[in-house]
A and B are shown apart, each in its own frame.
Chain A
Amino acid sequence: GAVVSQHPSWVICKSGTSVKIECRSLDFQATTMFWYRQFPKQSLMLMATSNEGSKATYEQGVEKDKFLINHASLTLSTLTVTSAHPEDSSFYICSARSERLAGVVTQYFGPGTRLLVL
């Protein structure tokens, strides 16, 4: 199946610093990628839809100036958490959209990035 990677897999940073998370589709091109956030013992919450070559579309309640998304190529999207604070500590998961399965839109998920802000 299609593979999506994320880097780093975990990061610890001081409050006020910015953290960049990369999401790559390794064996297919993804014009659309999605970013999710998951707090402990909770479900995945969609943060934004990232489209190659255009601005990301953010879900209601997600600050676009706080969570910067760049989708500069068909295989790479980045999420930058700017001026991170402890409440931003979470598990961030990306997915890449693929239409491999007989035209059915399918998402392939990355392994996630655990962010801890001290």
Chain B
Amino acid sequence: SQQGEEDPQALSIQEGENATMNCSYKTSINNLQWYRQNSGRGLVHLILIRSNEREKHSGRLRVTLDTSKKSSSLLITASRAADTASYFCATDEDSWGKLQFGAGTQVVVTP
């Protein structure tokens, strides 16, 4: 079953704007990861944040984690048309590394 819920389901912005999407989960986690998926393609790992971390940056990406609220956010700054994709959060709950994926946010960046 899916653990995470994401909002918004879809986001349409113009190049240069920031895109923010949120993810909520239900159980305790070891870490939370964000992935990108271009249409009909495989997943690309973006960033991992551990349960004891609150914020992490990677290039134009900023991820926050609030374990008390069981939520995370992904911010993409200065978006580009190439950022058009679906973005998924995934939580790692057990020692085997089994991931539970959120429903995803479809982002469209128009030039």
**Interface residues of A, CB < 8 Å — how many?**
27
B40 pairs with A106, CB closer than 8 A: no
Given known pairs A43-B2, A43-B104, A44-B88, the reply for A107 and B42 (CB within 8 Å) is no
Give the docked Cα–Cα distance between A107 and B41 (Å): 16
Q: Say if the beta carbon of B45 comes within 8 Å of chain A.
A: yes
Q: Say if the beta carbon of B59 comes within 8 Å of chain A.
A: no
B110 CB, min distance to chain A CBs, angstroms:
20
Please give, as numbers and ranges, the residues of chain A lying within 8 Å of B2 by CB-CB distance: 43, 45
B97 pairs with A110, CB closer than 8 A: no
A113 CB, min distance to chain B CBs, angstroms:
10
A112 CB, min distance to chain B CBs, angstroms:
5
Q: Which of B1, B31, B41 contacts A111 (CB 8 A)?
A: B41
B102 pairs with A107, CB closer than 8 A: no
B42 pairs with A111, CB closer than 8 A: yes
A112 pairs with B96, CB closer than 8 A: no
Taking CB atoms and an 8 Å cut-off, the chain B residues in 59-111 that contact chain A are: 88, 92, 95-104, 106
B96 pairs with A32, CB closer than 8 A: yes
Q: Which of B35, B97, B102 contacts A97 (CB 8 A)?
A: B97
A109 pairs with B43, CB closer than 8 A: yes
Q: Say if the beta carbon of A13 comes within 8 Å of chain B.
A: no
Given known pairs A43-B2, A43-B104, A104-B31, the reply for A34 and B88 (CB within 8 Å) is no
Please give, as numbers and ranges, the residues of chain A lying within 8 Å of B50 by CB-CB distance: 104
Give the docked Cα–Cα distance between A48 and B93 (Å): 15
B101 pairs with A43, CB closer than 8 A: yes
**Residue positions of B touching A, CB distance < 8 A:** 1-2, 30-31, 35, 40-43, 45, 48, 50, 88, 92, 95-104, 106
25 contacts between A and B (CB under 8 A): A32-B96, A34-B99, A43-B101, A43-B104, A44-B88, A44-B101, A45-B2, A46-B98, A46-B101, A49-B96, A93-B43, A95-B43, A95-B99, A97-B96, A104-B31, A105-B30, A105-B92, A105-B96, A106-B48, A107-B97, A109-B42, A110-B42, A111-B42, A112-B40, A112-B42
